[in-house]
Amino acid sequence: MHSRCVCFSFYIRRRCITKNAYCKRQIKKSVFTYNNITMKTISLLVVKLIVWFLLLGSVLSNDYKTFKKLVLPPSVTGPESAAFDRAGEGPYVTVADGRILKWKGPAIGFVDFAYISPNRTKKLCDGTNDLELGPTCGRPVALSFNYKTSDLYITDAFFGLLVVGFNGGLATQLSGGYKYLSGIDVESYTGNVYMTDASLTADSTGKLLKYDPRTQRVTVLMSGLAGAGGPAVSSDRKYVLVPDFVNKKIQRYWLQGPKRGTNEVFMTNFGSPKNIKRAVNDGEFWVAVEKQAQGLRINGSAMVLQTVPLTQFSDTTVGVVQEMNDALYVGSSQTDFVGVYTN
Ligand SMILES: *[C@@H]1O[C@H](CO)[C@@H](O)[C@H](O)[C@H]1NC(C)=O
Ligand SMILES: *[C@@H]1O[C@H](CO)[C@@H](O)[C@H](O)[C@H]1NC(C)=O
């Protein structure tokens, strides 16, 4: 019979008083078990910590919590759009005084890039947001580059659809006589230009239009839309997402495939969509949701992948959320800056 191995200080360190053979085996076993358990616990903890940090990291690197402003020149307002050129330079913004400005970095700020109206003078127009001067100064609202040709297509509240080359200057009018061209997206592969002609009230006279640069003809693809906003062609060029602002919906118009030429409701129950822009990830989009001041990242299944609160715009309106590199550029018709959200 073995004498019992009596241990003291069980919790701190297993150490036995008697040192017979059985006891030694027990000590060895218990120490081994103890070490083993400790090692297992520690490595589990380490794994858990690593996983936790990775998760935290992926959340943190994607939450757009840092905010800064790209401030417009004195008394200039209304940067409703923010586009980048083929070289990644910009943003280029449309402003209320009839110009397209280009951001040249913090040391220089915004500089003149293009203007809409041949009758515009800097003396009369720079810094104005007087709508009465619109027919003289112009009021560009949306822009989109053709990345093949580097041409910049612009929609203007008074002058319709225009285009300007990569050196900027006076834009050329391509098509006029619209109620209010509120949004634009150039599909660079074919060069086709998709635009929305807004209804200014809830009267559902809004349209999705296509401008074909080869025939220089404009065709109506969809009608019955309510309110203003801007469309976005999917990265696979199969469909266009079209905001139906007042009805709080996004419509999908098919450009290819069996449903070509038809449209359907794509997404509801998320707020009022203003401009929609392609995200950096293929097949994804950013939707500017005006009232809630949010940016929604969605995919082609209408799945909301991310919701970013745009807190600095909660007392104004959100016009556009444009993703570039690791940042979101947010434009508004009511601010004197473009907001930049980074991680
Ligand atoms: C520019 O001004 C001239 C002379 O006042 C006028 O005839 C012309 O229609 C104006 N052009 C535009 C584009 O407003
Ligand atoms: C959209 O995202 C959901 C969830 O991640 C995924 O199940 C679905 O396949 C995605 N749809 C497309 C078209 O990528």
How many C-beta atoms lie closer than 10 Å to residue 28's C-beta?
A: 10
**Does the Cβ of 300 fall within 6 Å of ligand 2?**
yes
Mutate to test the pocket of ligand 2, among 303, 305, 306 (most ligand atoms within 8 A of CB): 303
- CATH homologous superfamily of 68-342 equals TolB, C-terminal domain (2.120.10.30)
Residue 252's φ and ψ, nearest 5 degrees, are -120, 125
Question: Can you give the pLDDT at residue 42?
Answer: 58
Model-level pTM greater than 0.95? Answer: no
CA dihedral 89, 117, 336, 142 (to 10 degrees): -60
Give the per-residue pLDDT at 39: 57
Q: Return the structure tokens found at 186.
A: 């150039």
**Residues 250, 270, 201, 132, CA torsion sign:** negative
C-alpha 239 – ligand 2 centre gap (Å)? 16
Q: What is the pLDDT of residues 167-217, one digit of tens each?
A: 999 999 999 999 999 999 999 999 999 999 998 777 889 999 999 999 999
- pLDDT beyond 70 at 46: no
In percent, the amount of the chain with pLDDT more than 90 equals 78
Read off the pLDDT of each residue in 127-140 and give the average, rounded to a whole number: 96
Structure tokens at 215: 């025939």
pLDDT digit string, tens, across residues 264-297: 999 999 999 999 999 999 999 999 998 889 999 9
Q: Which of 119, 125, 172 to mutate to test the pocket of ligand 1 (most atoms within 8 A of CB)?
A: 119
Between 146 and 11, where is the model more confident?
Answer: 146
Ligand at minimal distance from the CA of 301 is: 2
- Cα–ligand 1 centroid distance for 133 (angstroms): 12
* Range from 17-21, 46-50, 92-96, 244-248 that averages highest in pLDDT: 92-96
User: What residue ranges do the domains of the chain occupy?
Assistant: 7-51, 68-342
* Residue identifier of the C-alpha nearest atom 9 of ligand 2: 301
- Tell me the average pLDDT across 297-311: 97
Closest residue to atom 10 of ligand 1, CA basis: 119
SS3 of residue 196 by DSSP = strand
CA distance 247 to 244: 6
The reported pLDDT for the residue numbered 9 is 34
Asked if residues 210 and 194 have their Cβ atoms less than 8 Å apart, the reply is yes
> Cβ-count burial of 195 within 10 angstroms (0-12 exposed, 13-18 middle, 19+ buried)?
buried
